[in-house]
Amino acid sequence: MSALHPAFVLFVTACVATAARGILRQITLLAGTLATLWTVWELDATASLSWALPNYTLHVLRVDALSHVFGLIFSLIACIGVLYALHVRRGGEHAATLVYAGGGLGVVFAGDWITLFVFWELMAVASLFVVWFGGTAQSQAAGYRYLLVHIFGGSLLFCGILIHLLHGGEITLAALTRSETPDAAFWLILLGVVINAAVPPLHAWLTDAYPEAAVTGSVFLSAFTTKTAVYVLIRLFPGAEVLLWAGVIMTLYGVVYAILENDIRRLLAYHIVSQVGYMVAAVGMGTALALNGSGAHAFCHILYKALLFMGAGAVIQATGKRKLSDLGGLSRAMPVVFGLYMVAALSISGVPLFNGFTSKSMIVSAAAEAHLPLPELLLTLAGVGTFLSVGLKLPYFTFMGDDRGLSPQRLPLNMLLAMGAGAFLCVWLGLFPQALYERLPFAAEYHPFTVDHVVSSLQLLTGTGLAFWWLLDRFHRETTLTLDTDWFYRRPLQAVFAHLIALARQAGTVLEAARASVLQALLPYARNPYLVPDRLTGVPLHLPPIDDDALPDGDRLVYDENRYRLPIGATVMWIVVFLAGLALVVFVAA
């Protein structure tokens, strides 16, 4: 059954919202995103949209349980993100975020390689503008670095798709892990996808760019790029063992850097790396429970991570400060923001009765069920680091601790409403996880609220909290600079590009001098073409006199263009001959 693609609803909304102004734009944004959510909700397995090409049939819309659950959370967070940004007057920023969200929906509903790649690249371009709408020199520079990384990742993905199709692979999307021997296409596609998943050491684009976007744009950035990559990994690479250990490394890598970080949004960006690590590790496990856990954790992560970025953005919007070393004592001035932020902090920390517990514990349980004790232990320890940095360090030094005498500005009501919607969903899914479990694509039964799960989680969280308070005097708010793998393309490449630019300038100077010399040498011949045989043969060319009077020999080489130009009748004749020939060809062909 042919159906309306939800991404197209967002694209139309983006166009209308860009042209509209004031209250009309706000109504358009809310109505368009709600219509998108409704369109996704109404999709079922019979919905499809295909375009026939000469050699392929593109399945632009393919719906199954996996794509539907990702489509629901993508369209839902688009609604919340638009509500949070409703006060923004820049139509271009709204358009960029909606096209970005539409690209994400296009990826999850794509049924073939070509459609997936087109929407994948559309996401990269739109998200680049979301970063640039940060409006600072730092966001502009970070955007260029972001672009370079994603051009590289997209090129790898494109080459992998070409090799796959040239070797007789199907145009429709199917798991590549079914092949017994992974080929070049497998590894190129995998590498292109894990760049978007921010797997270390290919992750630094995320922590470099996301903190530099506008406070509203960072909410969208936290939701789409890495989670579309998780979706593609579930779809194409279930059970790829390399992803298990890559994901485990991600979880630990992210929390270590988050503990060291001073910038609140950069700290949260490192936790995107860590939390996506759980999802990547679950894909590597490849069991039904693990794959369900990956999808469920992506769903829950989008909600609480967006709420975390909304809380951090509210602080930046109200105070103009983004460093822990500049913040403190905001709980009295911003009690609502503090309370809503803590809902997200408890969710990401895996506290029972919040949504992070119902999804993260599923992945840890899948590791235990698959008899993977070391990954199970390391994933559990990463949860301790998450609570320490996001649940304790960031809220303490931002909202509690020493009062820095800040006077926060009043926040727009729409920002608080969006945060309230996100907090409600985090709590609701924590209390009623079956509402999500029933929509997961694989057959695996799971019950999160067992005595073992709850008691072990509370023990770890309590121990972490006590350790934080005990060592609180050693946690100092200091201006820090953490070197990450982006150093390799920020510093060395900067020197390489500077050297190349200098060489290009030198080459340009030489070529310009050569051009001037050549023109200077040719100019006399352009003025008088009869100098050419004179200079080549050394024999002076004697021309007939221009008039009846005899001219001195020195003037016989003067070129008179009016004398030697073809008459206009010759030009007209050749035009007539051409048109007649053309008419004859048309007559014969007819």
284 and 342 in one domain?
yes
Please indicate, yes or no, if residue 486 is contained in any of the structural domains. no
Please indicate, yes or no, if residue 334 is contained in any of the structural domains. yes
252 and 228 in one domain?
no
- Where are the alpha helices (H) located in 85-136, listed in sequence order? 91-108, 113-132
251 and 232 in one domain?
no
251 and 215 in one domain?
no
Helical axes 184-197 vs 225-236, angle rounded to 10°: 150
Predicted local distance difference test score (pLDDT) of residue 486: 73
521 and 457 in one domain?
no
What is the domain count for the chain? 3
Please check whether residue 77 is in contact with residue 223, taking contact to mean a CB–CB distance below 8 angstroms. Answer: yes
283 and 373 in one domain?
yes
Please indicate, yes or no, if residue 481 is contained in any of the structural domains. no
Phi/psi of residue 459, each to 5°?
A: -60, -45
Predicted local distance difference test score (pLDDT) of residue 475: 63
353 and 211 in one domain?
no
- Where are the alpha helices (H) located in 448-491, listed in sequence order? 451-470, 487-490
Domain boundary among 188, 222, 237: 237
295 and 381 in one domain?
yes
Please indicate, yes or no, if residue 485 is contained in any of the structural domains. no
How many CA within 13 A on the CB side of residue 166? 9
- What is the enclosing helix (H) or strand (E) of 431? helix 413-431
468 and 558 in one domain?
no
Please check whether residue 334 is in contact with residue 408, taking contact to mean a CB–CB distance below 8 angstroms. Answer: yes
Please check whether residue 452 is in contact with residue 77, taking contact to mean a CB–CB distance below 8 angstroms. Answer: no
Please indicate, yes or no, if residue 362 is contained in any of the structural domains. yes
141 and 16 in one domain?
yes
Predicted local distance difference test score (pLDDT) of residue 487: 72
Please indicate, yes or no, if residue 484 is contained in any of the structural domains. no
The amino acid occupying position 460 is L
**Per DSSP, what are the bridge partners of residue 50?**
59
358 and 268 in one domain?
yes
Please indicate, yes or no, if residue 68 is contained in any of the structural domains. yes
Predicted local distance difference test score (pLDDT) of residue 168: 85
Domain boundary among 205, 237, 269: 237
- Strands (E) in 65-219, as ranges, are none
Please indicate, yes or no, if residue 425 is contained in any of the structural domains. yes
For residue 425, what are its two tokens?
A: 């969903």
147 and 28 in one domain?
yes
- What are the C-alpha distances in Å from 30 to residues 13, 26, 35, 81? 9, 6, 8, 10
d(CA 167, CA 218): 40
Residues of the chain with pLDDT under 50: 545-556
pTM: 0.84
Predicted local distance difference test score (pLDDT) of residue 407: 85
Q: Look-up: residue for tokens 């009016």?
A: 562
Q: Look-up: residue for tokens 């967002």?
A: 10
Can you give the residue range of the structural domain that contains 449?
238-476
Domain boundary among 237, 267, 292: 237
- What are the C-alpha distances in Å from 24 to residues 29, 33, 92, 331? 9, 14, 15, 35
For residue 341, what are its two tokens?
A: 């932020």
